[in-house]
Chains A and B, each alone.
Chain A
Amino acid sequence: MFLAPSRLKDHWREQRLFLARSIAGGVLMIFLTSAVVLRLVNLQVIHYEHFSDLSQGNRVRIEALPPTRGLIRDRNGVLLAENLPSYQLEMIPEQVADVEETLEKLTAMGLIREHDRERIDQDLRSHPRFRPTALRYQMTDEEVAIFAVARQRFPGVDVQAGLIRNYPYGPVAVHALGYVGAVSQADLERLDAADYAGTTHTGKIGVERAEEATLHGSVGHRQVLVNAEGRILQEIERSRPHPGRDITLTLDLQLQLASESALGDRRGAIVALDPANGHVLSLVSQPGYDPNLFSVGISTRDYEALRDDPDVPLFNRALRGVYPPGSTIKPVVGLAGLHYGTVSPWQRVYCIGYYTLPGHSHRYRDWKKEGHGPVDLHGAITQSCDVYFYDLAVKLGIDNLQSFLGAFGFGARTGIDIPSEKAGTLPSREWKRARFARREDQAWYPGETVITGIGQGYLEVTPLQLAQMTATIAARGARFRPMIVAARGDRATGETETLAPVALQPIEVTDDSYWDQVFRDMTDVVHGERGTARRIGLDAPYRIAGKTGTAQVFTIAQGEEYEADDVDERLRHHALFIAFAPAEAPRIAVAVIVENGGSGSGAAAPVARLVLDNYLLRSDQ
């Protein structure tokens, strides 16, 4: 009875209400707009004289002072990236009567290089006309003198002193160091525009990119008195920029140089780690390129040459190249067999040169056609018997195999402190279900387990992951995140921030003596009388533990297409070798991949030996 009368929608009334409200809104709107217009009249009509005078006398301008970029050194303090004073030729288009003619004349005088013209034209189009555009970086003293004489004839063109990034060793370690390049529109969206107001270059890849925040520093400002044309007359006040901090890497330049020369001009990758802390001692991806090209503004022609090179020098094989690990994972598969109790060290398998799954006729061949005869785990690793591991993989099953390999970091990024690393592939039942669309492709077939046992099939790893695996074995299960930045130091205050190694979940096996077994097996790969890599062990003054690998390929890992006449060479097997030494107390772990090198023992093992020699046989250590 006392219920409120139910409210009904009265459209007519609502519409009138809305109309009344929008008219009120309209009136308020006109009132507020009038306020703005009155303000404009006040500024532009009533106080016009005042503001006009102010604008003509507007002489004080604030300019950004870019900070000096931090230096990069190797672990022993050798400079890898520095800043060199450089003279550059700049033009302010607005102040030049005939831009085209000026450029022609300067080109004729040899002050602008012909192949830079394309870049200059592009810069002229995209830069504001009152901003200086660089015509030529890194002028020689002679060129500066030539211009100084002719300067009168070129109003609007001037020589400016600045700092330019220089990599004294050129292409050495470029895939670790990275490079700096001109700040692009995309960079500006990522970076703090205010802090980069005066900065021309920023890290694009590698350590230069990863440590951009450390290396860059912070911007300073100065107030200058300018005339009506914008020319600086006097400096009034200045707040200094704070220079970027210096970086010390874990890289060892000597070892890096030795690694690069050991690989020579072959395509491939080398990663050397310190097993005790994950320090990257050398990181090679061949072929490389000269980062100095980028810091001085790479010409379109040079860039296209790099981009279109069939050897893909810009591609970081060490971090992004994915390869089948081949036999190099046999020690880990063997360890898995011991850990899960699937095999015992003395159990033998009779190798007849091939393996067949029960009930199937398909023959999985051993690399040795006539077979190895009866082999135990030790023999299977030293002689790299495939049949033993086919059999072991099937007994372990893909689930155990996948979880044990996963614990070593396969199929996931290592988390190294430089960008663009790939994760590779660790196949499993779930992975296959997610990877393929068709039902019949989604099932896991026993044959796929067989070949996973010798590191073939879907399994793909990066050289960095392989090196990390080797280091993990060398450290008896202790795992570390690979790191390349060792310390950050402030030149101004002298403070140094040393970065601690990051320990990862260690590998724990059911019996610690299994590690001894793996050490013994791998040492005999190099020093045993039947070891596949015995050739590099003959004259070694220290003991090496290693494992060869040969990975079948059909196409190169990056999926590039090549001319028919060089297909044969590109279809050869990848040669792999992993090693750590000295075997008694490992100080270095290394993974070597020589693309299309043929065999691991012939092509990759000698490279690894040269790397180990350089690190372990130094006179000063």
Chain B
Amino acid sequence: MLDEPLDRPRPISVAQRLLAGLHLDGPLLMALLTVCCLGLFVLYSAGGQNADLIVRQGVRIVVASVTMLIIAQIHPKFLRLWAPWLFLGGIILLVLVLVMGEIGKGAQRWLDVGIVRFQPSEIMKLAVPMMAAWYLHERPLPPTLRETLTVLLLLSMMPAALIARQPDLGTALLIAASGVLVILLAGMSMRLILAFGALALAAAPLLWMNMHAYQRQRVLTFLNPESDPLGSGYHIIQSKIAIGSGGVFGKGWLNGTQAQLEFLPERATDFIFAVLGEEFGLLGVVTLLLLYLLIIARGLYIASQAQDTFGRLLSGSISLTFFVYVFVNTGMVTGLLPVVGVPLPLVSYGGTSMVTLMAGFGMLMSVHTHRKLIPQ
């Protein structure tokens, strides 16, 4: 026994070596791809068995995965160095979109950059937690009051307010959450948390005054969906019928009457969770929720293993923000929360949010696979 050298590497499989070489994290990758594949099945049914839709979504998954792979190769040190520039660039683009929106009419979220059109708010989904983690990186934690306020007001609320003006309340909420989560994870004091909670409650009426008519309508509808069964309450009523009629085992793939007969609106995008619930029942939705929890748990594990403040806070925030996505969407579809336009992550039809999400997981993988090995 003793003549075996102590530093002899443990034998590792080809797959492990390949993953390590590509800076990928096996468990996280498996869980992400499983959710994406499951999503394609549900989408095929939700989109009326449209093969083109599946091909387009498949292409997006591939693009998003490649983005993740590329970002996983970048050392977290560079992610940290780029954070302020990305944040600044994102803010400038948001202001630009608003200015152009003033010239155009109504909601303006897209920016046309010659060949590609994208929503600058997507950049901010990653830039805000990166910036907040960058800001706290060199500072001793827990943060002081001044640092807390800087992260909360300047780095989280300001970009969120810009996006809320577009108006895109759902995305604004997610972006604010990603910044707030960083400061919570960094150790914002309990007293402050309670104080802000109380302040938020007090500010609710003020928020109500500043809402757009359609946003108010959504909240009212949420409180009493039956009041407007053919207008904005229609979404919630039909989605509850779809989920409820699915029962424990579901009606079977492609057999959901709510989805297939077009009663359920937005069934390929924001309300795809209801299609899953109708066709695969309680078992299907709980399986998906467990997969999501697996992803988030792995993300939090990666965060806890991170070797610096930046990596730790960024990973933690990305993982928990992912949960906010899942909760806001499933809560909305099941009628627990008001209708805000947040897609079901990795499953809903649509391109940009998929790429942003996977880019975020690419950062997690980068943090995890670029650690310096410390002798135990």
Contacts and interface: CB of A to CB of B under 8 A. Distances in A.
B316 to A, nearest CB: 6
B247 to A, nearest CB: 5
A510 interface: no
A564 interface: no
A530 interface: no
B50 A128 contact: yes
B245 A52 contact: yes
Which of B181, B261, B320 gathers most chain A CB within 10 Å?
A: B261
B149 to A, nearest CB: 17
A39 B334 contact: yes
Interface string B119-159: 00000000000000000001111100000000000000000
A126 B320 contact: no
A230 interface: yes
Interface stretch (A2-10, A275-283, A343-351, A385-393): A2-10
Interface in A38-57: 39-41, 43-45, 47-48, 50-52, 54-56
Given A22-B316, A129-B48, A29 B296 contact: yes
A32 B336 CA distance: 11
**Which of A18, A44, A129 has the largest count of B CB atoms less than 10 A from its CB?**
A44
A210 B282 CA distance: 50
B1 to A, nearest CB: 34
B257 A55 contact: yes
B336 A223 contact: no
Contact of A36 (B181, B257, B258, B336): B336
Contact of A61 (B47, B242, B263): B263
Given A18-B187, A25-B320, A43-B240, A36 B245 contact: no
B289 A37 contact: yes
B245 A126 contact: no
B282 A45 contact: yes
Contacts of B248: 44-45, 48
Contacts of A13: 141
A78 interface: no
B300 interface: yes
Contacts of A8: 140
A58 B258 contact: yes
A48 B185 contact: no
B360 interface: no
Given A22-B303, A61-B262, A129-B48, A54 B289 contact: no
Contact of B330 (A25, A29, A36, A45): A36
A35 to B, nearest CB: 7
Contact of A125 (B52, B281, B293, B331): B52
B230 interface: yes
Interface string B312-352: 11001000100100010011001110000000000000000
A17 interface: yes
Contact of B323 (A29, A35, A62): A29
Contacts of B336: 35-36, 39
A14 interface: yes
A7 B245 contact: no
B289 A47 contact: no
Given A25-B184, A41-B282, A36 B289 contact: yes
A131 to B, nearest CB: 7
Q: Which of A13, A14, A45 has the most chain B CB within a 10 Å cutoff? A: A14
Contacts of B234: 62
Contacts of B281: 44
A30 B181 CA distance: 16
Nearest to A53: B245
A445 interface: no
Size category of the B interface is 35 or more
A44 B303 contact: no
B320 A18 contact: no
A61 B50 contact: no
B176 interface: no
Nearest to A127: B50
Contact of B258 (A33, A55, A62): A55
Contacts of A15: 304, 312
A25 B244 contact: no
Nearest to A44: B282
Nearest to B292: A33
A228 interface: yes
A447 B252 CA distance: 79
Interface of chain B: mostly helix, strand, loop or mixed: helix
A26 B300 contact: yes
A33 B247 contact: no
Nearest to A128: B48
Contacts of A25: 181, 184-185, 300, 316, 320
A44 B241 CA distance: 9
Interface in A140-161: none
Contacts of A429: none
A96 to B, nearest CB: 14
A18 B286 contact: no
A427 to B, nearest CB: 25
A542 interface: no
Contacts of A491: none
B277 interface: yes
A332 to B, nearest CB: 34
Interface string B283-323: 00110010001001100100110000100110010001001
A58 B289 contact: no
B34 interface: no
Given A25-B184, A55-B241, A18 B312 contact: yes
A185 to B, nearest CB: 8
B327 A33 contact: yes
B184 A21 contact: yes
Interface in A399-420: none
A22 B316 CA distance: 7
A519 B300 CA distance: 82
A19 interface: yes
A29 B244 contact: no
A145 B374 CA distance: 85
A297 to B, nearest CB: 17
B289 A14 contact: no
B67 interface: no
A36 B140 contact: no
A40 B334 contact: yes
A50 B241 CA distance: 9
A135 B257 CA distance: 26
Contacts of B117: 189
B362 to A, nearest CB: 21
A32 B261 contact: no
Given A44-B244, A230-B261, A36 B327 contact: yes
Contacts of A55: 241-242, 244-245, 257-258
Contact of B257 (A10, A39, A50, A228): A228
10 tightest CB-CB pairs across the interface, nearest first?
A: A128-B48, A51-B244, A55-B245, A43-B244, A7-B140, A17-B187, A126-B52, A51-B245, A52-B245, A44-B282
15 contacts: A22-B300, A22-B304, A25-B316, A30-B293, A37-B289, A40-B277, A43-B277, A44-B247, A48-B245, A58-B258, A61-B261, A61-B262, A126-B51, A126-B52, A128-B47
Given A9-B138, A41-B282, 13 more contacts: A9-B139, A9-B309, A15-B312, A18-B312, A39-B336, A43-B240, A43-B334, A50-B244, A51-B241, A52-B247, A55-B242, A58-B257, A130-B261
